[in-house]
């Protein structure tokens, strides 16, 4: 990616969750669930972040902190039909550079999470990395993860939430509302997994830098309802009690790298076929190893028998 003619490092490197034995126990990690509202779909076309939210949480669902603010993009705000943010709303809001230190603190020691994280990653890379946000932070996409682990018809954040926990998320198309809904899904994913889910990929690290105390401007009301932030006291579950999910787990987990894009029927079939082929190769490798071991044991026994007979 280029920024002002210079190559910019990517904000994130994606990891994944697996039911296999590799990696770290996902429930033992910290996560920073991030969501952005923007003036358009592509930073390359000039779109900017106009709102951002982060829910910092533990893998057991305990929320440690919530953060949200409108962001002055320094360009006209478009896309009101999606996010409802007007030019007047961002007057007096911090710029991206004002909150880089705050974001660095929130992301430090955590895996960054988003639903369709590719979208957030593009804007973090374009708007914040050139201003000092560290690059190459570990990331986890709940959209790809759900597609890899759970068999649903639709995987959008509201539809997946309703299918799995029976609730439609509140505050949709606000950064904090969507971050809370994604955090809820992640906590329930880790709680409901058949066995232990493990995280594989880039590891969370402590990041340099600290908050500079920028003045924030969060939305106060959403759909006529007062929007309140967590008061800084750790509380179990991001929004509500963790629900029990229906038994929709895939018998074979798919490769998350094949679970992006539209994920239409053809792409799903290809991902399932690849998972079956991996299982077949694994079984063949196990059988070959077992046969090799048996032959080696038989050869050793035969050699020992010959030596005993020689005596």
For the chain, 311 residues long, give each residue's pLDDT as a single digit of tens: 544 444 569 999 999 999 999 999 999 999 999 999 999 999 999 999 999 999 999 999 999 999 999 999 999 999 998 899 999 999 999 999 999 999 999 999 999 999 999 999 999 999 999 999 999 999 999 999 999 999 999 999 999 999 999 989 888 889 999 999 999 999 999 999 998 999 999 999 999 877 777 889 998 766 556 667 766 666 666 667 888 999 999 999 999 999 999 999 999 999 999 999 988 886 665 555 555 655 666 565 566 566 666 66
Is the alpha carbon torsion for 254, 62, 185, 208 positive or negative? negative
Please state, in angstroms and rounded to a whole number, the distance separating the CA atoms of residues 185 and 197.
14
Comparing CA positions, the residue from 187, 16, 195, 210 lying closest to residue 107 is 210
Please state, in angstroms and rounded to a whole number, the distance separating the CA atoms of residues 180 and 1.
30
Q: CB-based contacts of 77: which residues, under 8 Å, 6+ apart?
A: 39, 50, 85, 86, 87, 89, 90
pLDDT at 223: 59
pLDDT at 211: 73
pLDDT at 227: 67
pLDDT at 91: 95
pLDDT at 5: 44
Q: Encoding tokens for residue 167?
A: 């609730």
Burial class, 274, CB count within 10 angstroms (exposed 0-12 / middle 13-18 / buried 19+): middle
pLDDT at 171: 81
What's this model's pTM, rounded to 2 decimal places? Answer: 0.86
């Amino acid at each position: 990616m280029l920024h002002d003619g210079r190559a910019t490092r990517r904000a994130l490197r994606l990891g994944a969750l697996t039911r296999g034995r590799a990696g770290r126990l996902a429930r033992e990690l910290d996560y920073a669930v991030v969501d952005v509202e923007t003036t358009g779909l592509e930073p390359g076309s000039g779109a900017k972040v106009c709102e951002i939210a982060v829910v910092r949480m533990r893998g057991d669902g305990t929320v440690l902190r919530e953060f949200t603010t409108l962001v002055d993009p320094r360009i006209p705000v478009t896309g009101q039909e999606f996010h409802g943010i007007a030019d007047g709303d961002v007057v007096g809001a911090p710029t991206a550079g004002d909150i880089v230190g705050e974001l660095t603190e929130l992301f430090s020691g955590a895996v960054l999470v988003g639903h369709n994280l590719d979208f957030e990653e593009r804007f973090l890379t374009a708007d914040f990395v050139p201003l000092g946000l560290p690059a190459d932070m570990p990331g986890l996409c709940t959209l790809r993860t759900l597609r890899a682990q759970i068999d649903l018809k639709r995987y959008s954040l509201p539809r997946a939430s309703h299918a799995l926990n029976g609730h439609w998320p509140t505050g949709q198309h606000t950064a904090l509302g969507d971050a809370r809904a994604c955090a809820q899904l992640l906590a329930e994913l880790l709680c409901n997994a058949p066995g232990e889910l493990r995280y594989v990929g880039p590891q969370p690290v402590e990041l340099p830098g600290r908050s500079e105390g920028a003045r924030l401007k969060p939305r106060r009301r959403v759909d006529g309802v007062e929007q309140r932030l967590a008061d800084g006291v750790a509380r179990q579950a991001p929004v509500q009690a963790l629900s029990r999910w229906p038994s929709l787990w895939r018998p074979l987990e798919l490769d998350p790298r094949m679970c992006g894009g539209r994920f239409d029927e053809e792409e799903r079939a290809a991902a399932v076929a690849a998972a079956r082929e991996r299982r077949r190769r694994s079984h063949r490798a196990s059988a070959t190893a077992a046969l090799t071991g048996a032959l080696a044991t038989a050869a050793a026994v035969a050699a020992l028998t010959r030596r005993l007979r020689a005596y």
